[in-house]
Chain A
Amino acid sequence: MIILGIETSCDETAAALVRDDRVILADVVLSQLDEHRPYGGVVPEIAARAHLDHIDRLVAEAFRRAGLELQAVDAVAATCGPGLIGGVIVGAMTGKAIAAVTGKPFIAVNHLEGHALTARLTHGLEFPYLLLLVSGGHCQLLEVRGVGDYARLGSTIDDAAGEAFDKVAKMLGLGYPGGPAVQKAAERGDAARFSLPRPLKGKPGCDFSFSGLKNAVRLLIQEQENLSAQDRCDVAAAFQLAVADSIAGRSAKALRAFAARHGGARSLVVAGGVAANSLLRQRLGRLAAEEGFTLVAPPLALCTDNAAMIAWAGLERFRLGQSDGLDFAPRPRWPLDPAAPRLPGAGVKA
């Protein structure tokens, strides 16, 4: 079984071909980073235009790299949300058009389900497992019980973790995207020089919050007379430590809750771009070991946005006999756990 995957929900345009024996036959990603960099963040209209300019060519390139004909695919999967709706629409329509012409089934994939199921593509992981999704738009802890079956244990109530990295980097004048820049500066910084809050520490539940921490950083920067290069590195280090501590602290509670419910299953999967952060990985590795869990971290290229995860999520649904109509409406908001309450501060996606 071979599935074509299409991803256009944020600032990566991507196409991939994935086979049911967990082999990625082609994985093509075009980053729009340079187009958005001058604006210090993703500009939705610029993103949507760029997706249209490139997606058909990238799909063709995926088939070329895999050495496959279009007729070799069994179904066409495209991200249909959540995300920047102008871009989502481009990928969804491209997928629908290819499905219509080839007569193959169309599968509308939830981008978050792509992230959630990646560990099954890369590691063949069995259900259930605990997922920490930390990306530019999300920060969530999810119990992954099966395809289409998720329980949200916690979510950010304001900013996403990656968003906080990006905003702090902007305040420190470190450039965009902020995550890698903050990490680099932090390597030369003293995390102990400044003390920053650990949001929601000691509070019940597994939710996250980063906006208070972000504001504390803003105040800290304002208090410094002249921010030297060393000051910047020290602030970056203190911030990074606070985020890692905070995420590890909230994840600890989720691990215990998960273990209480599912005795034998002991995997913590981390996904999303912030999973690239080495301090966070270290912290999560230690935490998992302490709690008797195994930390599963897919390779970085499959943690950030890509179409292989979309093809795989489509494949998982398709082999359960699921597909969608060509009238499927792209969704700006599409929670994995529809039963979880909508969090007021958490942007459009959570």
Chain B
Amino acid sequence: MPSADPAVLAFDCSTTACSAAVLAGGAVRAARFRTLARGQAEVLLPMITEVMAEAGLDWPELGLIGVVVGPGSFTGLRIALATARGMAFAAGLPVAGVTSCEAVAHGVPEVERRGQTLLVAVDGKREDLFLQPFAADLTPLAPPRALMAEAAARLAEGPVLIAGDAGERLAAALPGARLSSAPPLPDARIVAALALARWRAGTALPPDPLYLRPPDVTLPPGAPAA
């Protein structure tokens, strides 16, 4: 029978960071966070084995894997999701997915959010940004989308607070909006708590990538449609 308070291993590679954390009995038992633009494929597994060892947990004692499914770096999403799916298969564990925007939003202090609409902007390494709006109490107002910064104004009414690693780019297009002091990148400690809450509520996302953009290819002229 699954425990009501399972120990959670969470990790994230969706942006320019790599992090892993173990949450058990309501407390973060071990956590690592590194900013790095590339090389998550090398760093992630050693980081996971380190937090598992530091938390003193063995795989059978885990009850849930939490992972960020996107939006973000396509390669980063695949690094984390291939790992999560491989672990789910090998350990027989469920996976609870959360979005990168949610993970950033949950790092914004309550005092900053009060009376504001929160817009989280994640860098998509293209002209457009990955954006998701949240109410002051962090209820998502829409799913994440790939949008030009200029189009973001339509997503939010009233005073706007901005977070995320593309926050400054978004702020430049939204005069009057304020930048949050929150960390701009997702952190596995927050992902773990969020994944557990979503899993308990039955609202966790499946471990499928949220790319929000089709592959960057065009059909050759005269080719039949796929």
What chain A residues lie within 8 Å of B219 (beta carbons)? 38-39
B166-225 residues with Cβ-Cβ distance < 8 A to A are 209, 211, 215-217, 219-220, 223-225
* B35 CB to nearest A CB, Å: 18
The answer on a CB contact under 8 Å between B41 and A329 is: yes
Interface flags for A305-326 (1: CB within 8 Å of B; 0: not) read 0000000000000000000011
Q: How long is the Cα–Cα vector from A56 to B41 in the complex, in angstroms?
A: 17
The answer on a CB contact under 8 Å between B86 and A96 is: yes
Q: How long is the Cα–Cα vector from A100 to B46 in the complex, in angstroms?
A: 9
Interface flags for B71-99 (1: CB within 8 Å of A; 0: not) read 00011001101111111111100000000
* B82 CB to nearest A CB, Å: 4
Chain B contact residues, majority secondary structure? helix
Interface flags for A69-107 (1: CB within 8 Å of B; 0: not) read 010000000000000001001111111111011100000
The answer on a CB contact under 8 Å between A327 and B46 is: yes
B22 an interface residue at 8 Å Cβ cutoff? no
On whether A39 and B217 interact (CB within 8 A), knowing A93-B83, A96-B45, A101-B91, the answer reads yes
The answer on a CB contact under 8 Å between B223 and A101 is: no
The answer on a CB contact under 8 Å between A89 and B79 is: yes
A212 an interface residue at 8 Å Cβ cutoff? no
On whether A330 and B59 interact (CB within 8 A), knowing A35-B226, A93-B86, A97-B90, the answer reads no
A52 an interface residue at 8 Å Cβ cutoff? yes
The answer on a CB contact under 8 Å between A93 and B41 is: yes
The answer on a CB contact under 8 Å between A38 and B82 is: no
Residue of A nearest to B86 (CB): A97
The answer on a CB contact under 8 Å between A329 and B75 is: no
The answer on a CB contact under 8 Å between A329 and B39 is: yes
A-B contact pairs, 28 of them (CB 8 A): A35-B226, A38-B224, A39-B223, A40-B223, A49-B209, A52-B78, A52-B81, A56-B85, A60-B89, A70-B90, A86-B75, A89-B78, A89-B82, A93-B45, A93-B83, A94-B82, A94-B85, A95-B86, A96-B83, A96-B86, A97-B87, A97-B90, A98-B87, A100-B87, A101-B87, A101-B91, A329-B39, A329-B41
Q: Give residues in A with beta carbon < 8 Å to B.
A: 35, 38-40, 43, 45-46, 48-49, 52, 55-56, 59-60, 70, 86, 89-98, 100-102, 325-330
Q: A49-B211, A89-B79 are in contact. List 11 more A-B contacts (CB 8 A).
A: A38-B226, A40-B223, A45-B217, A48-B75, A55-B85, A70-B90, A94-B86, A97-B45, A100-B48, A101-B59, A326-B49
